[in-house]
């Protein structure tokens, strides 16, 4: 998570500097075209990396340790928070 946050933060710092350098004193369509082509190239690189490295398989840490029957039993034993028997309002005062 920290690696992706660092990459996102760095791009937020680097992109305005890059755009400023390309367009400084050169506010033309050609200068902006260069910026858009660089952006497209970066997106293509990201797409290729995703296609090569990504997987749609469920990870083992997502499956949990408890069988479904024990989870259902625990939910059945839980006390509901909002019941008709509750006579207190949101401030904790009796109605």
Q: One digit per residue, pLDDT tens: the chain, 95 residues?
A: 788 899 889 988 999 999 999 999 999 999 999 999 999 999 999 999 999 999 888 888 887 776 666 667 777 777 666 666 556 566 656 65
In this prediction, residue 49 carries a pLDDT of: 93
pTM above 0.75, yes or no: no
In this prediction, residue 2 carries a pLDDT of: 83
Give the burial string for 4-41 (b: 16+ CB within 10 Å, else e): eeeeeeeeeeeeeeebeeeeeeeeeeeeeebeeeeeee
Tell me, letter by letter, the H, E, C secondary structure of the chain: CHHHHHHHHHHHHHHHHHHHHHHCCCCCHHHHHHHHHHHHHHHHHHHHHHHHHCCCCCCHHHCCCCCHHHHHHHHHHCCCCCCCCCCECCCCCEC
């Amino acid at each position: 998570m920290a690696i992706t946050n660092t990459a996102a933060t760095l791009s937020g710092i680097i992109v305005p500097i890059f755009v400023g350098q390309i367009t400084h004193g050169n506010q033309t369509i050609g200068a902006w075209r260069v910026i858009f082509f660089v952006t497209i190239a970066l997106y293509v690189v990201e797409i290729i990396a995703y296609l090569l490295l990504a997987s749609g398989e469920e990870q083992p840490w997502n499956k949990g340790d408890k069988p479904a029957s024990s989870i259902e039993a625990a939910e059945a034993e839980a006390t509901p928070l909002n019941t008709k028997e509750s006579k207190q309002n949101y401030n904790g005062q009796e109605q």
